[in-house]
């Protein structure tokens, strides 16, 4: 029997091709696509360490020693006397029948004279007392939760030095509205004596913590001074004005060359960060304390840099002793 070898060979190739495709399809059906984990957004950075409570809006709900009491007697009665409010509503209703405004006001005043003010005051005082007790409890709970955080006491006011023998070097702090120490009032001055090296360390640490802010503020101040035509430095108003004229392409009087003025301007620009740093010390350095502050107990006392939120210098216990025995001024 004659067999066509070519046909047999082609048939075998076709069978092999079909088997190969079937294997690929089976393999494809068994291979699962890779599982891609869902992208989870990175958690925001968590603040580490104690915080300054005056930056917390809730602190200001409890800053006052007592619940706010209106100075106006009528406002006080409106807020705390149910009898006053009920009677006042009745008076307003009765007076609405009078169409003339002036006559209506007369009617209201006449009806108000019939109110038992003594009863309303007694009622209001009792209600205020109850609400103030609740406020005191909430205030105490809030402060007890934050004994490890920082309470703002005062802001750096000035640096003092004397020619005494030995010389005195002091930092004065002025008590701020945020203070809750009972033996200090807003505006009191707290003076601490330091040696020069310690003051230098405080100022250097402040600069280190706030260098980016200082430089940005310095560039902003310099640009504003040039744009406004103001003095670039307090010490050399005339030069700065001429530098401004130069920047505007105007004639520079005085016979100095353009390069001289440019060099002078660059020198003053270099001084701007230093001057800005000195100004910001008195805006951003605060005296802070931690502990059971509302009971006048201080565990720690420190100097705090407001913008960076970092402690510049933690003060020794003798400073705490001085704080608790203030010199009233």
Domain boundary among 145, 179, 196: 145
Last residue of a domain, one of 100, 123, 145: 145
Q: Write down the pLDDT at residue 273.
A: 82
Which of 207, 172, 201 has the alpha carbon at shortest distance from 279?
207
User: Could you tell me if 288 and 248 lie in one domain?
Assistant: yes
pLDDT at residue number 168:
81
Whether 38 is covered by a domain: the verdict is: no
Q: String of b and e for 229-251 (b: at least 16 CB within 10 Å)?
A: eebbbeebeebbebbbebeeeee
The separation between CA 242 and the C-alpha centre of its own chain, rounded to angstroms, equals: 39
pLDDT, averaged across the chain: 79
pTM of the model: 0.69
How many domains does the chain divide into? Answer: 2
Contact 215, 273 (CB under 8 A): yes
Does residue 256 share a domain with residue 161?
yes
Is 282 within a domain?
Answer: yes
How far is it, in rounded angstroms, from Cα 281 to Cα 275?
A: 10
Q: Using only the alpha carbons of the chain, give its radius of gyration.
A: 38
Owning domain of residue 71: 58-145
Per the domain annotation, does 196 fall within a domain? yes
Is residue 142 scored above 60 in pLDDT?
yes
- Residue 284 and residue 316 share a domain: yes
Q: How confident is the model at residue 229 (pLDDT cuts 50, 70, 90)?
A: low
Specify whether 267 is located in the same domain as 159: yes
Residues 184 and 119 reside in one and the same domain: no
Mean pLDDT of 138-147: 94
Same domain, 216 and 254: yes
Identify the pLDDT of residue 46.
41
pLDDT of residue 243: 54
- Is 112 in the same domain as 174? no
- Domain ends where: 145, 173, 206? 145
Indicate the range of 34-48, 52-66, 212-226, 284-298 predicted with least confidence. 34-48
Residue % of the chain over a pLDDT of 90: 48
- Tens of pLDDT, residue by residue over 92-133, are 898 888 889 999 999 989 888 889 999 999 999 999 999 999
Residues 109 and 176 occupy one common structural domain: no
- Contact between residue 125 and residue 264 where contact means Cβ atoms under 8 Å apart: no
Residue 208 confidence (pLDDT) above 80: yes
The label of the residue with tokens 């070097």 reads 169
Tokens (6 digits) for 227? 């744009």
Query: Are 95 and 184 contained in the same domain?
Result: no
pLDDT value for 50: 77
**Residue 139 shares a structural domain with residue 159:** no
Residues of the chain by 3-state class (helix, strand, coil), percent to 5: 55, 15, 35
Query: Are 230 and 295 in the same domain?
Result: yes
Minimal CA–CA distance to 288: which of 265, 270, 311?
311
CA 177/CA 60 separation, integer angstroms: 10
């Amino acid at each position: 029997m004659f067999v066509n070898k070519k046909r047999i060979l082609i048939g075998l190739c076709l069978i092999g091709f079909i088997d190969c495709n079937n294997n690929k399809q089976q393999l494809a059906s068994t291979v699962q696509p890779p599982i891609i984990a869902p992208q989870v957004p990175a958690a925001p950075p968590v603040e580490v360490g104690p915080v300054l409570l005056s930056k917390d809006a809730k602190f200001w709900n409890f800053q006052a020693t007592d619940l706010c009491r209106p100075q106006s007697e009528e406002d006080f009665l409106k807020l705390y006397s149910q009898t006053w409010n009920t009677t006042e509503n009745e008076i307003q209703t009765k007076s609405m029948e009078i169409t003339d405004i002036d006559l209506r006001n007369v009617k209201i005043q006449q009806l108000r004279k019939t109110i038992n003010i003594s009863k309303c005051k007694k009622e209001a005082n009792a209600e205020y007392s109850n609400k103030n007790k609740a406020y005191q409890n909430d205030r105490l709970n809030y402060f007890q939760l934050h004994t490890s955080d920082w309470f703002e006491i005062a802001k750096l006011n000035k640096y003092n030095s004397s020619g005494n023998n030995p010389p005195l070097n002091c930092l004065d702090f002025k008590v701020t509205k945020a203070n809750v120490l009972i033996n200090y009032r807003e505006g009191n001055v707290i003076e601490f004596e330091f040696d020069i090296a310690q003051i230098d360390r405080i100022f250097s640490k402040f600069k280190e913590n706030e260098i980016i802010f200082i430089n940005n503020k310095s560039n902003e101040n310099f640009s504003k001074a040039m744009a406004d035509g103001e003095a670039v430095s307090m010490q050399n108003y005339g030069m700065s004005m001429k530098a401004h004229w130069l920047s505007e392409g105007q004639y520079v009087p005085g016979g100095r060359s353009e390069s001289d003025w440019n060099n002078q301007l660059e020198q003053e620009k270099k001084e701007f960060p230093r001057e800005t740093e000195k100004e910001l010390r008195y805006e951003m350095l605060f005296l802070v304390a931690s502990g059971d502050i509302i009971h006048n107990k201080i565990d720690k006392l420190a100097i705090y840099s407001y913008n960076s939120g970092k402690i510049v210098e933690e003060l020794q216990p003798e400073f705490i002793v001085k704080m608790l025995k203030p010199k009233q001024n």
